[in-house]
């Protein structure tokens, strides 16, 4: 991302988080429309309902690098991750597990692995 300034990075992140919220809403609507066919549909929809507001809120908080700089960005990022991605990973794992238990477990494990790996790379600790 060489050559991209902080404002452009913030705008790109806001668009990504909004798109992710849209994906979550589409997933929730699909599950609601197929509620009889999906095992654990009420749990999946509940998990998604908890996390849909999180990426939208974070994209609003992240509207200006100057504003985010006054806050503690690490704590905000951690809260965003926990409220946005953990319930979503759980919901998607349940959906995958309704078809294949291996797929549900594999998705959760792979998500955890890549999260830890990307955080290690960002922090410079391979």
Q: What is the pLDDT of residues 97-110, one digit of tens each?
A: 988 999 999 999 99
Q: What pTM was computed for the model?
A: 0.75
Please state the domain extents for the chain. 6-123
- Is 3's pLDDT higher than 70? no
Q: What is the pLDDT of residues 72-97, one digit of tens each?
A: 666 776 777 788 888 999 999 999 99
Alpha-carbon distance of 58 to 21, in angstroms, equals: 11
40 Cβ contact list (under 8 Å, min separation 6): 94, 97, 98
Q: What is the pLDDT of residues 6-35, one digit of tens each?
A: 778 778 878 888 888 889 899 999 899 988
């Amino acid at each position: 991302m060489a050559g991209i300034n902080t404002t452009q990075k913030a705008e790109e992140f806001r668009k990504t988080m909004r798109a992710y919220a849209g994906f979550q809403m589409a997933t929730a609507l699909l599950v609601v429309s197929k509620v009889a066919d999906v095992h654990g549909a009420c749990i999946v929809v509940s998990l998604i309902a908890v996390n849909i507001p999180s990426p939208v809120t974070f994209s609003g908080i992240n509207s200006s690098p100057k504003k985010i700089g006054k806050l503690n960005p690490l704590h905000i990022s951690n809260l965003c991750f926990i409220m946005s991605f953990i319930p979503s990973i759980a919901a998607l794992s349940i959906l995958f597990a309704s078809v294949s238990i291996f797929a549900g477990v594999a998705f959760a494990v792979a998500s955890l692995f890549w999260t830890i790996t990307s955080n290690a790379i960002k922090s410079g600790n391979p």
